[in-house]
Structure 1
Amino acid sequence: MAAETVVEKTWHGILNRLPGARRGELAVIEATYAEPRLRSLFPFPSHGALTFHRNTEFPWSNDLPFIVGDVQACTVYAPQHASKRVLGESLTPREAAALVVAHLSDNCGDG
């Protein structure tokens, strides 16, 4: 049995609310984890946002769309350098996760 990667261990800790794991809106985390392409990226919940990164240590990639919100309503934002900042508003967590996936480059989040 292969050892868990840093990404897998981080998702596991967040989903199971393990001690020392970062905390985030569980409905958003569960919806994003259900998307295989997002599950292969490093999750970083902070200040009501769930960001995704290509790397597992600071400095973060910060080049991927991210979600702000909760079970009631989510907003998906483009990375900071994008000209159009808001990609979608008033979304369910599942819709927000799908929108993030739709805005990933072809080779991003393929495992």
Structure 2
Amino acid sequence: MVALLGSSGGLPSLLEPDPNIRLPHAGMMVTMDTTPPGHALVEAGWQKVRDDGRVRPELLEAAYAEPRLRQLFPWTGMGELHFSRCTEWPWAWDIPYIQPAAEGEYWVSGPLRSESVGPAATAQQAVTMVVDRLPPKCGPALVGTREELAAHDVAILPANPETTGTNRSTS
């Protein structure tokens, strides 16, 4: 950083440092915060799911241990563990969810309630089944609603050549 005006009050000087700017001391590391914007909201969601007690602890542990699921917003319904790519209700319904089944087993369904993936003998197996079916470019949960997520997806996903038409340039 440099002063905008030289000591003579004339043209800016590129050689005179601004005495109001403090630089880190030698040996001090400067780091950027690369934490996704919704990280605190997602973590609070995981804590809320843990606290409400409706999901089996071994399922929560297996899902949270998987980095691709840990970055999504969790929510529960009827003992099911759901994952959303956005942090606010209404949540996105584009990821399969895990239901409790008899004798400690699980059933993976979805993303829609009318869709079934199949049975899983263990929590880890159920988690793997969900991860294998994550949407393309599934990243950290977006802070916002599913409508905002849909707008975000349209803005960042490349256009599909089949839907954008043919090249209309003339030669």
TM-score above 0.5, yes or no: yes
Which residue of 2 is the match for residue 86 of structure 1? Answer: 116
1:73 and 1:81 mapped to 2: Cα distance?
19
- Alpha-carbon shift at residue 106 of structure 1 (Å): 2.9
| Structure 1 residue matching 2:104: 3-state secondary structure | coil
Alignment RMSD, CA only?
A: 2.5
Q: How big is each residue's C-alpha offset from its partner over 1:30-62, in whole Å with a ceiling of 9 and x where there is no partner?
A: 111111000000000221100100111111111
Change (3 A) 1:45 1:81: closer
| Structure 2 residue matching 1:5: 3-state secondary structure | helix
- My pick for the range that moved more, 63-72 or 38-47, is 63-72
| Structure 2 residue matching 1:67: 3-state secondary structure | strand
- Alpha-carbon shift at residue 14 of structure 1 (Å): 3.3
Higher Rg of the two aligned structures: 2
1:23 and 1:59 mapped to 2: Cα distance?
20
Greater RCO structure (CA 8 Å; 6+ sep): 1
2:61 and 2:48 mapped to 1: Cα distance?
12
- 8 A contact 1:22–1:45 mirrored in 2: no
Aligned length: 104
**Structure 1 counterpart of 2:135, from 100, 105, 108:** 105
- 8 A contact 2:94–2:112 mirrored in 1: yes
2:119 and 2:130 mapped to 1: Cα distance?
12
1:54 and 1:22 mapped to 2: Cα distance?
22
1:101 and 1:35 mapped to 2: Cα distance?
9
Greater strand proportion: 1
Identify unmatched segments of 5+ residues in structure 1: none
- 8 A contact 1:45–1:51 mirrored in 2: yes
Percent of residue pairs bearing the same amino acid type: 35
**Structure 1 counterpart of 2:105, from 65, 73, 80:** 73
